[in-house]
Amino acid sequence: MIELERLTKKYGAKTAVDGISATIKPGIITGFLGPNGAGKSTTMRMIVGLDRPTSGTALVNGNRYAATRAPLAEVGALLDAKAVDGGRSARNHLLALGATVGIGKRRVEDVLASVGLTDVAHRPAKSFSLGMGQRLGIAAALLAEPDVLLLDEPVNGLDIDGIQWIRELLGELAADGRTVLLSSHLMTEMQLVADHLIVIGQGRILADSSIQDFIEESGGGSAVVVVSPDAGLLAPLLAGDGVTLTTREPGRFEVRGRTAPEIGDIASGHSLRIHELTPTQASLETAYLQLTQDSVEYAGTTRKAA
Amino acid sequence: MTIALERPVSTHAQSLARGIHSEWIKVRTLRSTWIGLATVVVIMIGFGALAAAMATGSVTDPGGDGGPPFAGAGPLGTALSGANLAVLLVGVLGSLAGAREYGSRMITATVTTMPRRWQVIVAKSAALAAVMIPTAVIAVMGAYGVAMGILGANGNATVALTDDGVLSSLLGMVGYLVAVAVLGLCLGSLLRSVAGSIGTVVGGLLIVPALASALLPDSWDKVLQLLPSSAAASFTEVGMAGGSTLSAGAGAAVLIGWVVALMAGAVVAIHRRDV
Ligand SMILES: Nc1ncnc2c1ncn2[C@@H]1O[C@H](COP(=O)(O)OP(=O)(O)O)[C@@H](O)[C@H]1O
Ligand SMILES: [Mg+2]
């Protein structure tokens, strides 16, 4: 469990994290979502005491991190996969970190095997690809079986297999009763992994809710795109309480408030033709973008062709 | 794919001893450590041997007048001709030990595993001293042995370890090398930059003493005695930059004072600053 209490960090005049209060619970995966520069990394750095809060507190399992007995066994953190001394082999890197809490060769070999780095563990870390570096970072985070895992953009640089692997891994860790906080600036990543979402923008919490609630609160849930030559007949049949229909083009409309099976059943009940019936999660991405729109720090600018 | 945590690992409380163990693993698993230490040994013994050979006249300085250039240095000074260069190199090694993790950002992992941060400075210093002490002993005693061998074989004057002050100056030299390594480490940690730290070590040990004694009036001599290089000259009896009028004991105390002060500074800084 992580408890943040009006956590604030200022760098000179710049407020990176602005009075964040939240509780990150064990047993689920909490996604920490926000555009670049929102303050995710700074918050995570304060949790493990790398940055000193300007004010407020961050507690890990009820204690300040610096006061914990066996830090590596309390919190496993992957904050920057590149933060490794490139001249040292992966194995020796883990041995050195593990030694701080009395972990030795056996466990290091186990972890190397579980992240799939055994064959390259003798190689200097500087020869690692971004994906291998991420795996080494995850190995370090898992080394002492911590209760709490902090992963800052862990999916960056991983291929599809790697992403799948992280997703399974985090699921197991959460199911095991551990606290898992992972950050990302992409909703698409989060909706695949997280159970709970904390959205921040410009250092403030914009939303703190389960994925389900987030979807429901943000525009009536997921939509179903319907393509039908009988759209004109079908649409009135779908109408009802809490159902919205949006027509995009003739013969194609979007339904919120009804599931794809419901729509299919209604259509077949009236012998109406359906050519396409596609549930979309677009609303989640859209909701996120709308939520954070006002807080994007460096909005992209389109360069006009000369 | 099998994942993660099949059997529980036994972990133990993090302690200074475990921190030192961790830093010891780090020191010995970098190839650059061993290359650097070997270079210190080669420089000390190589320069000592070369100077001894030149002193016997069997090797002459091609640019000089043909006379033995180290004739005036005395046997011990001849043996330790590599000292000034070795001291600088050791300062560089210390700077690397203190600052290199700031370059790679590995320091974030180090500080998260050792959040009682004073331990980071102490553990790194202990691990560095653990390799520096034997290295300095081998380098200094090796230089002494080789140089005396060459001098003696050619009928030049030699000194024995049992002669007055010889062993203590050699041990003093060992102590100076170790102290400079730790000074470099603390500077590296304070400045968080290998280059900045090396510059400060070279400036502080070589340039400042030379410039100050040349430019400042004699009334400053008492202050200049407190520079690390002058303090060390009092107990190494090798002409380090500066020269010394302090007693050996006072010089040692001054040098230890420098180490303690910089280490305290490094500890305060690592606690105060964000990583
Ligand atoms: N060491 C620092 N000094 C000054 N500003 C910083 C520092 N670290 C982060 N910031 C600023 O704080 C804000 C939050 O950064 P960060 O926590 O890295 O965001 P995120 O991880 O969400 O992308 C950004 O505006 C960033 O520029
Ligand atoms: Mg970040």
Tens of pLDDT, residue by residue over A130-147, are 889 999 999 999 999 999
Whether B238 is covered by a domain: the verdict is: yes
Domains of chain A by start residue, with CATH? 2-210 (3.40.50.300), 222-281 (3.30.70)
ipTM associated with this complex = 0.89
Residues 6+ apart with CB under 8 A from A275: A227, A228, A229
CB-CB under 8 Å, A95 with B5: no
For chain B, the average pLDDT equals 89
Q: Note the pLDDT tens digit of each residue in A68-79.
A: 999 999 999 999
**Half-sphere exposure of residue B31, counting CA atoms within 13 Å on the CB side?**
6
Task: Give yes or no for residue A300 having a pLDDT over 50.
Answer: no
Whether B3 is covered by a domain: the verdict is: no
Across A56-78, average pLDDT = 95
Task: Give yes or no for residue B63 having a pLDDT over 60.
Answer: no
Shortest-distance Cα residue to atom 24 of ligand 1: A37
What is the C-alpha radius of gyration for chain B, rounded to an integer number of angstroms? 21
Which H helix or E strand runs over A288? Answer: helix A282-293
How many A/B residue pairs have CB atoms within 8 Å? 131
- At residue A46, the 3 state secondary structure works out as helix
The pLDDT value given to residue B2 = 45
Task: Give yes or no for residue B58 having a pLDDT over 90.
Answer: no
Residue A132 neighbours by CB distance under 10 Å? 21
CB-CB under 8 Å, A114 with B114: no
The pLDDT value given to residue B241 = 44
Whether B11 is covered by a domain: the verdict is: no
Asked whether A171 and A29 are in contact (CB, 8 A), the reply is: yes
Whether B69 is covered by a domain: the verdict is: yes
Our mutation pick for probing the ligand 1 site, out of A10, A41, A54, counting the most ligand atoms within 8 A of Cβ, is A41
Asked whether A221 and A254 are in contact (CB, 8 A), the reply is: no
Q: If phi over 0 gives left and psi between -120 and 50 gives alpha, with beta otherwise, what is residue B155?
A: left
Across B194-216, average pLDDT = 90
The pLDDT value given to residue A239 = 87
Residues 6+ apart with CB under 8 A from A3: A22, A23, A24, A57, A58, A59, A62
The pLDDT value given to residue B40 = 98
Q: Note the pLDDT tens digit of each residue in B78-134.
A: 999 999 999 999 999 999 999 999 999 999 999 999 999 999 999 999 999 999 999
Q: Note the pLDDT tens digit of each residue in B138-192.
A: 999 999 999 999 999 998 999 999 888 899 999 999 999 999 999 999 999 999 9
Distance, in Å, from the CA atom of B87 to the CA atom of A89, rounded to the nearest integer, reads 30
Whether B161 is covered by a domain: the verdict is: yes
Distance, in Å, from the CA atom of A180 to the CA atom of A138, rounded to the nearest integer, reads 13
Distance, in Å, from the CA atom of B275 to the CA atom of B271, rounded to the nearest integer, reads 9
The pLDDT value given to residue B8 = 64
Nearest to B26 among A77, A96, A102 (CB): A96
Asked whether B235 and B78 are in contact (CB, 8 A), the reply is: no
Whether B136 is covered by a domain: the verdict is: yes
- The domain of B158 spans 16-272
Q: Which atom of ligand 1 is nearest to the CA of A51?
A: 1
Given 3-state DSSP classes, what are the helix, strand and coil percentages for chain B, each rounded to the nearest 5? 75, 0, 25
Q: Structurally, how many domains does chain B consist of?
A: 1
Q: Note the pLDDT tens digit of each residue in A174-210.
A: 999 999 999 999 888 888 889 999 999 999 999 999 9
| Interface probe, candidates A45, A78, A85, chain B, greatest B C-beta count within 10 A | A85
Q: A66 vs chain B: nearest CA distance in angstroms? A: 5
pLDDT range class, residue A304, cuts 50, 70, 90: very low
Distance, in Å, from the CA atom of B79 to the CA atom of B49, rounded to the nearest integer, reads 7
Whether B21 is covered by a domain: the verdict is: yes
Residues 6+ apart with CB under 8 A from A14: none
Nearest to A65 among B105, B115, B275 (CB): B115
Task: Give yes or no for residue A298 having a pLDDT over 60.
Answer: no
